[in-house]
Amino acid sequence: MKDRLIALIDSALDTLTANGVLPAEARRPVQIERTKDKSHGDFATNIALMLAKPAGVKPRDLAQALVDALPEDPALAKTEIAGPGFINFFQSDNWLASQLEAALADEHLAVPRPQQPQTVVVDYSGPNLAKEMHVGHLRSTIIGDAVVRSLEFLGHKVIRQNHVGDWGTQFGMLLAYLEEQKAEEGDTELSRELANLETFYRAAKLRFDESPEFADRARALVVKLQSGDEYCLKLWNEFNQVSLSHCYAVYERLGVSLTATDVRGESTYNDDLPKVVADLDAAGLLTEDQGALCVFLDEFRNKDGDTLPVIVRKADGGYLYATTDLAALRYRANQLQADRILYFVDQRQALHFQQMFAVAREAGFVGAGVDLAHMGFGTMNGPDGKPFKTRDGGTVKLIDLLDEAEQRAYQLVSEKNPELDQDELRAIAHAVGIGAVKYSDLSKNRTSDYVFNFDLMLSFDGNTAPYLLYAYTRVVSVFRKAGLSLNQVDGELLLREEAEQALAARLVQFGEAVQSVADKGQPHLLCAYLYDVAGLFSSFYEHCPILSGDDDALRASRLKLAALTARTLSEGLRLLGLTPLERM
């Protein structure tokens, strides 16, 4: 609706410019706000106040001229000029009702599909395989997944890329330890050895630090691995498969849509790295600095004004994270034919991505038409405001965190519903516990840090998963009571009460909310929307009896509104990666 109003006002401004009322250079982007007090209409703009001075007209006169020039639109019931020159817009209830009817009649809730669907490559999760997934990978994984689901819902083609860290010197140490363990314990099951990657990594690191002889072996193994030695590659591969299976277990537990086919790790680009460097050279971008090959771009400088290098090959011939990312970027633009490439990676890598994008553009690895965006996120902190750690200062394994969340949710729901059987309790605890962890993250602005807090995320009050999941069960319980399914609604929509109008006006904005997630990579916008809808339903439910009244037409209309609320909440929760429950 906002976009629609902006287009209307822009068209009116065009008319005023053509008539000579408004100088073209005075034009500004139109801002539309939704009004708090519905007696002032549903939306308002201050554009006449902004432009009055440059136009040399009184604000109220300009507002009147604008209103006169506004094209007819069925969505608008009327406009009003208020105060010093605000323009208030009143939505038409008939139009609103027809929008709701369209949404009810459509599986896709009448959210339009794009005229030109894009191919969007989304880089997310990307854990390092040497270690177990830890909380640092949680944000990337769940935010990325919510955006992917939103893009797909809107009708775009998404190619998921799980850029796992499966290469690097630490693998020498791990392979040396693996070899040692195999020799010591005979042909023990590899999976048993690696049941806990974290312990395995620590043990290997300990050996590496205490034994120079082991360290030498580890280094030799890296060299062998890099030169493509078959035995080393086999060990390495075995290790990675085990490590990846741990990741899949986490994805499954989280209900994240990543699978084995989405994995394209750093190592897949190995053969391409010399070519990347050669092509940068051919583009005239390389400078040698103390034996290392670097790209210096003018726009990247440190505090002292010195240009910062992007090192693409070390003096010893080794390649870097950046080199791999350049290869990946080119692959995504050219082979995958991406229109847009999104990276859900920690905000602390912001400079890395800015540099990557600039170098890639400069070198012609990606065309000007390809949109590149680093969707950075802040840190998940512990109660002390510092990055989340275990009590003894170690990194928190993701799987442990999820176990605790489900445990706590189980406690909560079993106290609330002692009558439910174990299986159902477990299923509810799973949806609530995992949902709470995901939602508490998704509902925050992606770019800020936040404090991880079990008590807050599991609260039934406020913008939380339990609140929203519960709100959904409340809506569907209306239908259970009435003995109806969500599809069994008909009759005319009557939007007479304010609570009905407010809920209806928000429901028709579902598509806009999803669109903003897809555009900005900010799932919290959808969270805020759903929270709003749940709140509006709540006041509607309080003020407008659905089943108890004796007016059949009113009852049918209210059931329709409830049905669309249920479907909107359920689709929205699903896009965020949460599981709506029938009861809890």
Residues that bind ligand ARG (CB under 6 A): 123, 126, 128, 163, 165, 325, 328, 343, 345
- Residue 79, Cβ neighbours under 10 Å: how many? 21
Nearest distance from C-beta of residue 193 to ligand ARG, angstroms: 24
Measured from the CB atom, is 127 or 577 closer to ligand ARG? Answer: 127
Measured from the CB atom, is 342 or 442 closer to ligand ARG? Answer: 342
Nearest distance from C-beta of residue 209 to ligand ARG, angstroms: 23
Nearest distance from C-beta of residue 256 to ligand ARG, angstroms: 16
Residue 319: beta bridge partners? Answer: 313
Q: What share of the chain is helix, strand, coil (3-state, %, to 5)?
A: 55, 10, 30
Which residue's beta carbon is nearest to the bound ligand ARG? 126
Nearest distance from C-beta of residue 454 to ligand ARG, angstroms: 25
* Dist. CA 342–CA 339, nearest whole Å: 10
Distances (CA, A) of 524 to 109, 185, 446, 514: 20, 50, 7, 10
* Dist. CA 30–CA 50, nearest whole Å: 9
Nearest distance from C-beta of residue 114 to ligand ARG, angstroms: 26
With contact defined as beta carbons under 8 Å apart, do 408 and 454 qualify?
A: yes
Nearest distance from C-beta of residue 129 to ligand ARG, angstroms: 9
- Strand-pair category, 340-343 with 371-374: parallel
Measured from the CB atom, is 265 or 466 closer to ligand ARG? Answer: 265
Say if residue 344 is exposed, middle or buried (CB neighbours under 10 Å; 0-12, 13-18, 19+): buried
Supply 227's token pair.
Answer: 């030169």
Distances (CA, A) of 103 to 108, 378, 394, 563: 7, 36, 49, 11
Measured from the CB atom, is 136 or 535 closer to ligand ARG? Answer: 136
Measured from the CB atom, is 163 or 446 closer to ligand ARG? Answer: 163
Strand arrangement of the beta sheet that strand 157-161 belongs to? 157-161, 119-123, 340-343, 371-374
Nearest to 147 by CA among 109, 127, 120: 120
Nearest distance from C-beta of residue 497 to ligand ARG, angstroms: 50
Nearest distance from C-beta of residue 189 to ligand ARG, angstroms: 28
Measured from the CB atom, is 376 or 572 closer to ligand ARG? Answer: 376
Nearest distance from C-beta of residue 253 to ligand ARG, angstroms: 20
Nearest to 537 by CA among 561, 513, 509, 572: 561
Measured from the CB atom, is 122 or 429 closer to ligand ARG? Answer: 122
Nearest distance from C-beta of residue 163 to ligand ARG, angstroms: 4
Measured from the CB atom, is 205 or 555 closer to ligand ARG? Answer: 205
Single-letter residue type at 270: N
Measured from the CB atom, is 164 or 518 closer to ligand ARG? Answer: 164
Nearest distance from C-beta of residue 123 to ligand ARG, angstroms: 5
Nearest distance from C-beta of residue 343 to ligand ARG, angstroms: 6
Geometric angle at alpha carbon 18, from 12 and 23, rounded to 5°: 90
Dihedral angle sign, alpha carbons of residues 197, 399, 374, 385: negative
* Dist. CA 225–CA 228, nearest whole Å: 5
* Dist. CA 433–CA 86, nearest whole Å: 47
With contact defined as beta carbons under 8 Å apart, do 485 and 479 qualify?
A: yes
* Dist. CA 181–CA 197, nearest whole Å: 14
Considering all CA atoms of the chain, what is the largest pairwise distance in Å, rounded to the nearest integer? 90
Nearest distance from C-beta of residue 172 to ligand ARG, angstroms: 18
Determine if residue 211 is left, alpha or beta; phi over 0 gives left, psi from -120 to 50 gives alpha, anything else beta: beta
Query: Quick one: CA torsion of 149, 151, 153, 154, rounded to 10 degrees?
Result: 170
Backbone angles phi, psi at 360, to 5 degrees: -60, -40
Backbone angles phi, psi at 238, to 5 degrees: -60, -45
Nearest distance from C-beta of residue 119 to ligand ARG, angstroms: 17
Measured from the CB atom, is 399 or 484 closer to ligand ARG? Answer: 399
Measured from the CB atom, is 235 or 328 closer to ligand ARG? Answer: 328
Measured from the CB atom, is 94 or 447 closer to ligand ARG? Answer: 447
CB-based burial, 502-540: b 16+ in 10 Å, e otherwise: bbbbbbbbbbebbbbbbeebbbbbbbbbbbbbbbbbeeb
Q: What is the helix (H) or strand (E) element at residue 480, kind and residue range?
A: helix 465-482
Measured from the CB atom, is 279 or 325 closer to ligand ARG? Answer: 325
Nearest distance from C-beta of residue 350 to ligand ARG, angstroms: 12
Measured from the CB atom, is 126 or 433 closer to ligand ARG? Answer: 126
Measured from the CB atom, is 358 or 528 closer to ligand ARG? Answer: 358
List of residues 6+ apart from 43 with CB closer than 8 A: 1, 2, 5, 32, 33, 34, 35, 88, 89, 91
